[in-house]
Structure 1
Amino acid sequence: MIFLSRSLVALGALLAATPALAQVPKLLPLPAELHAGQGRLAVTGATGITVPAGDAGARNAAERLSVLLDESRGLRLAIGTAGKGASIRFVRAATGKPESYRLDVTPRGATITAGDDAGLLYGAVTLWQALTQTPGRGPVTVSAFDVADAPRFGWRGLMLDSARHFQSPDYVRHLIDWMAVNKLNTLHWHLVDDQGWRIEIKKYPKLTEISGWRHPATAPGAPQLPKIGGFYTQDEIRSILAYAAQRNITIVPEIEMPGHALAAIRAYPELGTGVPIPPGTESDWGVFPWLYNLDDSTFGFLEDVLDEVIALFPSKFIHVGGDEATKEQWKGSARIQAQMKALGIKDETALQAAFMHRIAGHLTKRGRKLIGWDEILEGNEVPPDATITSWRGIEGAITAAKAGHDAVLSPAPTLYFDNRQGFSDTEPPGRGNLIDLKTVYAFDPVPDAIPAAQQHHVLGVQANLWTEHVRTEARAAWQTFPRASAVAEKGWSAKGASDFGGFVDRVIPQMTRMRDLGLNASFSAFEVQPSYDYAPGSDSVTVTLANQAGLAMRYTVDGGAVTANSPAYAGPFKATLPVALKAAAFKGDRAVPGEITRTITLQSLRWRSDEALKTCTSRVVLALEDDYPATGKRATFVSDIFNPCWLWEKAPVGGARQIAITVGQVPFNFQVGKDRDGIKFEAPTTPEGEFVVHAGTCEGPRVAVLPLAPAVGNPGLTRLVGTLAPRAGNETLCIRYTARGVEPIWAIDAVELVQ
């Protein structure tokens, strides 16, 4: 069989124009080679699966295929005999590089061929995708096709931060399942950080007894939230590791050092430099100054911990962090300074390098390799066989590769999935950068600055989900997919194999089939985003629709259901108020998730949530969750924590007599060092402070003042109402508040102009 070249597969227009090619399934990641065959294969409950006798890897792949088809279509195929109908065969034979496979689908059956267990499993995943191109239960028929496939990179990863917020073992298993069907193969498990210690270490039980739990931070006067936390027992970890191994996923554990050490020091204070830890510090976010000291007993503790980790995890890599280790406590410790002098170490950067060398030596003795964040490159004394996770952009990978070190590309903000995917009330809390699906897909893991002779040092690509602001498992899943599918394709498929439109065409059915595996993925890329142009006094509004994926959209303005026969959106349109707007993005004649319903009235046009406002600056913009109530829905506030200030552009102020601002308060629980002293507010004119509204710019005339007194002491939302100076037409409003300090942070939930 002649296979298509990668360049031909990338030509989506050719696929659409050629009937034979149009019959190939929409696979994700895009295979290296794909060709349409002749005829169709029917798979029913009578279809059997055969595996070579005694081949445990083939048996595992067959079982995974049977389970996936059962979950997606209710087809649990028997394994071991050919059955009465067509058969699916697993064959062990060389297919080239690791994880590669061939898949041949004909009217007589399907054959998956691979030289290793991973290839057999991925061939099964590809066949499952082909048999679930559309939702449905029961027998299925698929057009014949052939695939020859192999990954671009050997490291295709996700990082899960379980330290900031704990996820259940069941969720971790779900994540492993979702990774496997996207051909992701590495789970970097962030088990230790300042806020929590999540792995049972039998020699040091206080690590989990004390530092496995904390009370979330609350604003002054707000009720204390219940204690949260948890940890994984060693038996639970062994079970998860076995589960991952069946799905060709290596779990790389991370034990942070020398910084991000507060959890360990809380449990065993002798590990630190003696600087007291104020109560509740473990519930802060940011960069903490607490570091491990340099005593031999502390290194003994770390080596003991690593030995228990090594006994659990078979991964050849052990991640030891190395990031954000601010040095002020080392600088301020007479004991540390004396030790540095005795060792002939010139400065604290060189001290961290020596620290890492000692840890690397221990790992080497145990047959493992050190991997760390790109800060371990500093000081030009990197352990000789260290691998780098490049997170501060791509520069760490470039430096590492040129110096002969392997690297994994994981740059912030592009591959940091705590960044939000959109700005709407649908989005959960997170960092305020917009990192949408298209941005992730545009990233290429091999920087041009790495010389061709050194590009083999790029092991692959990894996205990270930090969970400071990801409190629930549902939010973790939303933040991860479908962006993780974009990472999967970038890690697997050839460079330039597909454009974003082709990826969207394949990721939509992928998210649909993954619902059967328990995933409720984000639909941010497909959600219709309306915007309105309204002139005060008019009886109509101009509506503009958009979506991130660039999909076609259809809409109605009378409250009717949106179907394939509804008007196609061709550009901004005018509608008479009130408008019962419904709109959805479409792929062909099918609506995709993200349909919206909006009732547009004069009142709604004079109302904006904080999601529709702009922050005046973009130093550290966060979408922060309210600290109240303990259970149930909480508000989310978008704010620049270094400058709480908002702009409502083109606000329809004409004719408005009052302005109402719904506000809430959250704690300033951020470790930002001396930067805290630089956060300045205008002095209040009332004891409790006030929200102040300026017209035009933040230096424009003051048009409203709303005292905060009614909100002080209320842990929930408070609606403040104030008189608005007469204005005309549309005008930008700048809204900020006065205060004597950063605690608490006041934030806006919504603003309304009242006639």
Structure 2
Amino acid sequence: MYKKIILLLVACVGLGTARAQDNNPNLGIIPAPVSVKKTSGAFTLSQETTLLADSVDNKAVIFLADYLKNSAMLHIPVKQNSGTIANNSIVLTSVGTDGLPAEGYRLTITSGNVTIAARGAGMFYGIQTLIQLIPANKSATAKLPCVQIEDYPRFGYRGLMLDVCRHFFNVQFVKKYIDLMAAYKFNRFHWHLTDDQGWRIEIKKYPKLTEIGSHRTSTVIGNYHDRTPQQYDDTPVDGYYTQDEIRDVVKYAADRYITVVPEIEMPGHAMAALASYPELGCEPDLGYQVQTTWGISKNVYCPSDKTFAFLEDVLTEVMELFPSKYIHIGGDEAPKDVWKQSEFCQKLIKKYKLKDEEGLQSYFIQRIEKFLNTKGRSIIGWDEILEGGLAPNATVMSWRGEQGGINAAKQNHDVIMTPGSGGLYLDHAQGKLSTEPLTIGGFAPLEKTYSYDPTPEELNNDQKKHILGVQANMWTEYIATENKIEYMLLPRMFAVSEVAWTPLANKNFKDFSEVRLPNHLAWLDKNGFDYRVPTAIGAKDSVGFGTTMTVNLKPPVTGAKIYYTIDGYTPRETDIEYTLPKTYNVPVDQYRELQTIVITPTGKRSVVTRMMIYNKKPLPPVVYQGNNQGLRYELIPGEYNSTNDFKQSADGADSLISKSFNINPFRKNGGFAIIYNGYIRIDSDGFYGFSTSSDDGSTLLIDNQLVVDNDGKHPISAKSGGIALQKGYHKFTLKYFNVGTTGSLKVFITIPGKPTGELGSDLLYN
């Protein structure tokens, strides 16, 4: 039964031939191919079709035969290709592959035959494209559009990462994750197996790693800085993979042309290992425990001979399980506090004439790299491995923005781009935090992920050759269930596949999101996947200024329905179904608010969108005759839960002037609030948008009217609003408070006719 489920999983979506192809230049295929040339006619796939292959035991050929049998109800035996091709055949051959780049394929569908010309992985990817063209109606016959497709990947490294340390996921789910990867032409599964919160791989020589290190007693409740003091759920988290299970997953992935890249973290993120074997730390009597909260632990491996012997033993067993060229050794977020205080570490720095503790980390990484190089393997590390000097043959995975990757490429090191700032951290929110399940913070909507380009313009052509590819990461601090992983993964995984595979010139977000994606989401919906339902095409939160509101919407999921209200209440399936474009006239001094929701055939729901339009005169300016740039501010110490909890002093204590909203200098004081007061200069009549991005709460008022409400204790969250203003000066008030150690504040303005940008001191006065 499970085998059948997996084969259904990789079927993706049947696109059929009923839809007008003129509006579907890529035939619904994700990721979009290099070249698609449509021709007239169709091929009829039926029980009489013959499957011919140069090699009948090729794993890609077997994969297609199993799919046709279990998902398309077509029991078509594989026959040896003798060179004589009869009509009504699917031909899988290496003939006709001249000039194809690595992993490329040529798929030709005529009314008589289907031919996939490819070698190795290219054959598998051609088969995945063919599967996407087969209607998913489980009929014994299917019509395939005649077409010529030539295709190959933009990047050789196309990765997805799964963190199983913070929360454990069983082998069956890992295989499901790999199946999705295979269907969308990913070829690297980065398996994050060790961290502070759990050790998840059996190591025979060190049984305590799983006896102790795979178990934590509890987990912090909510975001780790939501509560002071932190609270815990008293629920143990356990789990690890036996070596037999590891071998099973590695083979399963290899059968789908996916290489599993294991990650064994060092020298930081080591609390699970230190709890198991305290002698590996610089303070063995400290009483290490598997960490029950998130964040960065100051406890790291001590760079002793005992530690290196342990790590070499561990890596030896890891290499026996994983044939991957690369072994990921982490290297990120390794505080040097313990090393600075350790007499042993300070002697080691002097002994090897290292510059400082960063040099000691470089020594640590290089020693591990030399060991792995002797075994014919290479290391990948997060971009912190650049600190103190990069190991000679290391590949850098750039996650803290692109700069680490840029620096590494300029030093002629290979790079995999995976920056959170590029929308590649799939644990980041897909919409406003107030509408999303709990996340670590950050903001990575589908369009941001899709628009990422892994090759920075700062690099020249030779340096760009060192960009091996791209990877998206699924960290699971706040993802405890399989359903939530699917929700965070889908549909952004489809966008990443196109970033990794499709030529830059062929990418088109409108075609991706409005033409191709709806059918892929419909397949997910029908087959029981959880995913984030996009809002209706054409609907988004907005506030405008005018006399009419015109609405033209389309469902983002094939078969879904759109419901709407104009009475201010949240729409649901009991409200009016949207079917045709609508235009609302707005009387003077009134407004219209249209709320919409998408509900899929299985009952999944999008977030609600609110589109508002005002027919009101802009607010007149206030009197201001000065010319002093910057805002006055007052700093108010204390712990607060809301911007309503504090007030400006009556004695005019807000006498200090600031030309920015940088709150970092105030964070050292612990909890605090701050009120900015002054005026904003508006250069033309119009509707102005404002937004704040803050950790914790912020509210913005113009002429004493609340425009942005981003209040409350929360991680980084963005909220927006708008107001119609006349040319001149308007009173400006911003209130903010911070709890804990992770505060931040940014303010943005959208001027009519211009893109959104940070609000600068050139518009602010006191």
Deviation at 1:382, TM superposition (A): 1.5
Deviation at 1:113, TM superposition (A): 1.1
Counterparts of 1:308-707 in structure 2, within 5 Å, are 308-379=317-388, 381-413=389-421, 414-423=423-432, 427-504=436-513, 505-514=515-524, 519-524=529-534, 555-557=563-565, 566-568=579-581, 583-584=597-598, 594=605, 645=641, 678-680=669-671
2:129 to 114, 126, 130: 126
Deviation at 1:496, TM superposition (A): 2.3
What SS does the corresponding residue of 1:291 show, helix, strand or coil?
coil
Corresponding residue number in structure 2 for 1:302: 311
What SS does the corresponding residue of 2:400 show, helix, strand or coil?
coil
Corresponding residue number in structure 1 for 2:662: none
Q: 1:21 to 1:198 in 2, by over 3 A?
A: same
2:111 to 107, 110, 113: 107
TM-score (norm 2): 0.70
Identity %: 36
CA distance in 2, matches of 1:240, 1:643: 49
Q: Tell me if the contact between 1:102 and 1:113 (Cα under 8 Å) persists in the aligned partners.
A: yes
What SS does the corresponding residue of 2:40 show, helix, strand or coil?
strand
Deviation at 1:375, TM superposition (A): 1.0
Corresponding residue number in structure 2 for 1:216: 219
Corresponding residue number in structure 2 for 1:712: none
Task: Read off the aligned partner of 2:113 and give its amino acid letter.
Answer: G
Deviation at 1:529, TM superposition (A): 6.9
Q: Tell me if the contact between 2:536 and 2:556 (Cα under 8 Å) persists in the aligned partners.
A: yes
Q: What do the CA deviations read for 1:422-465 (whole angstroms, capped 9, x no partner)?
A: 12666222133221010011110111111112211110010111
CA distance in 1, matches of 2:521, 2:19: 26
CA distance in 2, matches of 1:279, 1:548: 53
Q: 1:411 to 1:598 in 2, by over 3 A?
A: closer
Q: What do the CA deviations read for 1:34-67 (whole angstroms, capped 9, x no partner)?
A: 11123111112343322224x532xx22332244
CA distance in 2, matches of 1:65, 1:238: 23
Q: Tell me if the contact between 1:197 and 1:264 (Cα under 8 Å) persists in the aligned partners.
A: yes
Q: 1:311 to 1:516 in 2, by over 3 A?
A: farther
Corresponding residue number in structure 1 for 2:274: 265
Q: Tell me if the contact between 1:470 and 1:476 (Cα under 8 Å) persists in the aligned partners.
A: yes
CA distance in 1, matches of 2:414, 2:599: 42
Q: What do the CA deviations read for 1:599-628 (whole angstroms, capped 9, x no partner)?
A: 99xxxxxxxxxxxxxxxxxxxxxxxxxxxx
Q: Tell me if the contact between 2:243 and 2:321 (Cα under 8 Å) persists in the aligned partners.
A: yes
Q: What do the CA deviations read for 1:59-82 (whole angstroms, capped 9, x no partner)?
A: x22332244455654445433379
Corresponding residue number in structure 1 for 2:63: 64
Q: Tell me if the contact between 2:175 and 2:252 (Cα under 8 Å) persists in the aligned partners.
A: yes
Deviation at 1:229, TM superposition (A): 2.3
Q: Is 1:169 aligned to residue 171 of structure 2?
A: yes
What SS does the corresponding residue of 1:228 show, helix, strand or coil?
coil
What SS does the corresponding residue of 1:335 show, helix, strand or coil?
helix
What SS does the corresponding residue of 1:461 show, helix, strand or coil?
strand
What SS does the corresponding residue of 1:177 show, helix, strand or coil?
helix
Task: Read off the aligned partner of 2:504 and give its amino acid letter.
Answer: K
Q: Tell me if the contact between 1:446 and 1:455 (Cα under 8 Å) persists in the aligned partners.
A: yes
1:196 to 182, 195, 198: 198
Corresponding residue number in structure 1 for 2:648: none
CA distance in 2, matches of 1:451, 1:533: 43
Task: Read off the aligned partner of 1:506 and give its amino acid letter.
Answer: R
Deviation at 1:243, TM superposition (A): 0.5
What SS does the corresponding residue of 1:89 show, helix, strand or coil?
strand
CA distance in 2, matches of 1:203, 1:573: 75
2:93 to 77, 91, 94: 91
Q: 1:734 to 1:528 in 2, by over 3 A?
A: farther
Q: Tell me if the contact between 2:484 and 2:530 (Cα under 8 Å) persists in the aligned partners.
A: no
What SS does the corresponding residue of 1:419 show, helix, strand or coil?
coil
Q: 1:204 to 1:508 in 2, by over 3 A?
A: same
Q: 1:560 to 1:238 in 2, by over 3 A?
A: closer
What SS does the corresponding residue of 1:204 show, helix, strand or coil?
coil
2:50 to 48, 64, 76: 48
CA distance in 2, matches of 1:371, 1:390: 10
Q: 1:584 to 1:518 in 2, by over 3 A?
A: closer
Q: 1:585 to 1:734 in 2, by over 3 A?
A: farther
Q: 1:297 to 1:222 in 2, by over 3 A?
A: closer
Q: Tell me if the contact between 2:209 and 2:273 (Cα under 8 Å) persists in the aligned partners.
A: yes
What SS does the corresponding residue of 1:166 show, helix, strand or coil?
coil
Q: What do the CA deviations read for 1:12-33 (whole angstroms, capped 9, x no partner)?
A: xxxx999678586221111111
Q: Tell me if the contact between 2:555 and 2:598 (Cα under 8 Å) persists in the aligned partners.
A: no
Task: Read off the aligned partner of 1:400 and give its amino acid letter.
Answer: A
Q: Which moved more, 1:192-201 or 1:76-85?
A: 76-85
Corresponding residue number in structure 1 for 2:302: 293
Task: Read off the aligned partner of 2:214 and give its amino acid letter.
Answer: G
CA distance in 1, matches of 2:473, 2:486: 13
Higher relative contact order (CA 8 A, sep 6+): 1
What SS does the corresponding residue of 2:244 show, helix, strand or coil?
helix
Q: 1:22 to 1:418 in 2, by over 3 A?
A: closer
What SS does the corresponding residue of 2:396 show, helix, strand or coil?
strand
Q: What do the CA deviations read for 1:695-729 (whole angstroms, capped 9, x no partner)?
A: 9879x99xxxxxxxxxxxxxxxxxxxxxxxxxxxx
Deviation at 1:733, TM superposition (A): 11
Task: Read off the aligned partner of 1:394 and give its amino acid letter.
Answer: E
Q: Tell me if the contact between 2:202 and 2:243 (Cα under 8 Å) persists in the aligned partners.
A: yes
Corresponding residue number in structure 1 for 2:148: 146
CA distance in 1, matches of 2:642, 2:554: 24
Q: Tell me if the contact between 2:438 and 2:478 (Cα under 8 Å) persists in the aligned partners.
A: yes
Deviation at 1:562, TM superposition (A): 8.3
Corresponding residue number in structure 2 for 1:185: 187
Task: Read off the aligned partner of 1:348 and give its amino acid letter.
Answer: E
Q: 1:76 to 1:532 in 2, by over 3 A?
A: same
Q: Tell me if the contact between 1:533 and 1:543 (Cα under 8 Å) persists in the aligned partners.
A: no
CA distance in 1, matches of 2:204, 2:666: 39
CA distance in 1, matches of 2:247, 2:425: 28
TM-score (norm 1): 0.71
Q: 1:85 to 1:453 in 2, by over 3 A?
A: closer
What SS does the corresponding residue of 1:496 show, helix, strand or coil?
helix
Deviation at 1:554, TM superposition (A): 5.5
Task: Read off the aligned partner of 1:679 and give its amino acid letter.
Answer: G
CA distance in 2, matches of 1:79, 1:513: 28
CA distance in 1, matches of 2:592, 2:417: 50
Deviation at 1:182, TM superposition (A): 0.5
CA distance in 2, matches of 1:17, 1:233: 48
Corresponding residue number in structure 2 for 1:79: 78
CA distance in 2, matches of 1:732, 1:229: 50
What SS does the corresponding residue of 1:147 show, helix, strand or coil?
strand
